Structure 1
Amino acid sequence: METEQLYRTYKSLLFSLAYRMLGNVMDAEDIVHEAFLLLEKIDHPEEIRNTKAYLCKIVTNRSIDKLRSAAKKREVYVGTWLPDPLVEEYSADPSSFYMTKESVSTAYLLLLQQLTEVERAVFLLREMFQYDYDDIASIVGKSNANCRQIFHRAKKGIMHNPDSMKQDFGQLSGYVEEFAQAVQDGNMSEILALLKKDAVYYSDGGGKIIAATRPVYGAEYIARFFLGVINKLPEGFSIKFAKVNGGPGIVIIVSGNVKYVLSVEVKDEKIRSIYMVANPDKLSHLKAF
């Protein structure tokens, strides 16, 4: 199979693996590009028995290396770290994109951060991509038995809410749109009605832009925070609704540039968590639409 055809076949899969590992869009794209460049340089590609596994091995190991080299930067990161947002318009075809599943939600990606680099790789290859343990062992350089132990340990440590996968996208988008309208209207009671009392708001400015450096807890504090933010936005800003990390979200555009991207987590028909990325480095891959 020609490299160009392999690229079309496996690009989305490899990007989804790298992005889940890293939470960084541009780094994930660079690693995928590098994997195909390395494939092209092989003198006898016909000797590779499983090209897909070979490419996954390159992407996995490069992602592990990237995570280890970035560990110190993460330790001194200013405020809350959130993954780069993946943004699609509502009309995008979810069947054509590996990234529209619940497993790329902001909440889920943050759970993955609790795992070590190798644990994350083993967990993703098994849980998300259904690799058998022999292939995983070959990719990460561990024994079959060791990979089984790593997977079961990681799965216990990364509990998530399976009910969130069953939630209707249209219903969830309704909560997001109602919340945005209530904030724009300055309707405190409506905002409080949409939020769980113990809701949490996380923002990532990375020290590059003014943002809450610590999570904001409680519906009333979150409501007051958003009412303060909306009043400080310059005239001419616009709000767009989009699919953010597989779920409904909000993109705020100022002077033609994406300034804020919000995603939410809903439980019991109310918003439980709000995640806002404002760090311009994490929004540079997005274009206003």
Structure 2
Amino acid sequence: MEELYGQYRALLFTLAYQLTGSAADAEDAVQDVFVKACDVHPERLEEPKAYLCKMVTNHCLNLQKSARKKREMYVGPWLPEPVRTPETDPLETTVVRRDLLSYAMLVLLERLTPTERTVFVLREALGFDYPEIAELLGKQEANCRKLLSRARNKMGISEDEPVAAEAVELEWVSRFLTSLEQGNVDHVMSLLTEDVMFVADGGGKAKAFRHPVQTSEHVARVLLDRLQSLRSYFQGDFHFEFAPLNGETSIVIRSGNETVAALLIQLRRGKLTRMYAIRNPDKLARV
């Protein structure tokens, strides 16, 4: 079992994380599955990848049902917990980066039912074929195809549109931060799309906007105002870090040993179209 754990742990974590949007829940799912697998007859583990993925999928499907009820009581917008994805991890011992959807795509997954989400992740992120997905979920292959089509429709993705996000390069993020620090509203606005949206998740545990902020002018002014508030609150004792989160260059704000926020970025044709600010301290442990 130890050998199977080493071989499949990262894959199973990547699957569970994308099904739940929570790294903590994904860790629990993987641990629970391997504990239960210790009692499974060896013959049932002749195809360990399929069997373990099915166990994780079932665990997460059950978890999603209860999680939705909890999120109805959540204060403000609920956003997925970001995870660090260092490029210097050749063994990918934590997350399989090639199987990881963009953060913006994880946000869109919240529009789906648990079953639609599972089909989308298995097919579009992990590259499972339809017979494998049908076997994992105990459904007809044709039904799985319909579920994927429905999921794409809810997420606003056409049938032939790739799910890969536009790359967020270090140079762009650096230019964006420089623009903020200079404090020129027009310059900041020039880096935003007209329909840009800023979404913050404080979970009632940190100060954050309760509703998304929209339009380039409003978002630009909010970002500049927040930067000024940070300078005042921490008396200048804070700094920005570039961090690889969910496979993209992101921004982490720290003050001493405290992680203040993580900012994840989505670009469209070289301009900021979505910014997700994680302020809830419970979701900053892995950044």
Q: Which amino acid aligns with 2:200?
A: S
In structure 1, C-alpha distance between the alignment counterparts of 2:99 and 2:48, rounded to whole Å? 27
Return 5+ residue gaps in structure 2 as ranges: none
What CA deviation, in whole Å up to 9, does each residue of 1:117-171 have, x standing for no partner? Answer: 11111222223223333332332232333323323332333344857837455xx
Counterpart residue number, 2:271: 270
Q: Which amino acid aligns with 1:218?
A: T
Please tell me whether the aligned partners of residues 251 and 258 of structure 1 are also in contact (alpha carbons under 8 angstroms).
yes
Question: Aligned runs of 1:48-63 on 2, under 5 Å?
Answer: 48-63=45-60
What CA deviation, in whole Å up to 9, does each residue of 1:22-58 have, x standing for no partner? Answer: 110010011011111111122x223433111111011
Q: Which amino acid aligns with 1:48?
A: L
In structure 1, C-alpha distance between the alignment counterparts of 2:99 and 2:178, rounded to whole Å? 25
In structure 1, C-alpha distance between the alignment counterparts of 2:104 and 2:126, rounded to whole Å? 19
Q: Which amino acid aligns with 1:165?
A: A
SS at match of 1:274: strand
Counterpart residue number, 1:237: 238
In structure 1, C-alpha distance between the alignment counterparts of 2:46 and 2:38, rounded to whole Å? 15
Question: Aligned runs of 1:1-289 on 2, under 5 Å?
Answer: 3-42=1-40, 44-89=41-86, 91-93=87-89, 96=92, 98-101=95-98, 103-160=100-157, 162=161, 165=164, 167-169=166-168, 172-233=169-230, 234=234, 235-286=236-287
Cα distance change of structure 1 residues 152 and 194 upon mapping to structure 2, 3 Å threshold: closer
Q: Which amino acid aligns with 1:111?
A: L
Deviation of 1:106 (Å): 2.0
Deviation of 1:232 (Å): 1.9
Cα distance change of structure 1 residues 109 and 99 upon mapping to structure 2, 3 Å threshold: farther
Cα distance change of structure 1 residues 103 and 159 upon mapping to structure 2, 3 Å threshold: farther
Please tell me whether the aligned partners of residues 165 and 266 of structure 2 are also in contact (alpha carbons under 8 angstroms).
no
Q: Which amino acid aligns with 2:285?
A: S
What CA deviation, in whole Å up to 9, does each residue of 1:42-84 have, x standing for no partner? Answer: 2x22343311111101110110111101111111211111100
Please tell me whether the aligned partners of residues 25 and 84 of structure 1 are also in contact (alpha carbons under 8 angstroms).
yes
Please tell me whether the aligned partners of residues 99 and 125 of structure 2 are also in contact (alpha carbons under 8 angstroms).
no
In structure 2, C-alpha distance between the alignment counterparts of 1:267 and 1:14, rounded to whole Å? 31
Please tell me whether the aligned partners of residues 18 and 59 of structure 1 are also in contact (alpha carbons under 8 angstroms).
yes
In structure 1, C-alpha distance between the alignment counterparts of 2:96 and 2:219, rounded to whole Å? 29
In structure 2, C-alpha distance between the alignment counterparts of 1:48 and 1:246, rounded to whole Å? 32
Please tell me whether the aligned partners of residues 23 and 109 of structure 1 are also in contact (alpha carbons under 8 angstroms).
yes
- Identify, as 1 or 2, the structure richer in helix: 1
Cα distance change of structure 1 residues 117 and 177 upon mapping to structure 2, 3 Å threshold: same
Query: Greater CA deviation, 274-283 or 172-181?
Result: 172-181
SS at match of 1:252: strand
In structure 1, C-alpha distance between the alignment counterparts of 2:179 and 2:256, rounded to whole Å? 23
Deviation of 1:261 (Å): 0.2
Query: Greater CA deviation, 254-263 or 138-147?
Result: 138-147
Q: Which amino acid aligns with 1:243?
A: P
Sequence identity of aligned pairs in percent?
A: 38
Return 5+ residue gaps in structure 1 as ranges: none
SS at match of 2:275: strand
Cα distance change of structure 1 residues 225 and 98 upon mapping to structure 2, 3 Å threshold: same
How many residues were matched structurally? 280
In structure 2, C-alpha distance between the alignment counterparts of 1:99 and 1:265, rounded to whole Å? 21
SS at match of 2:190: helix
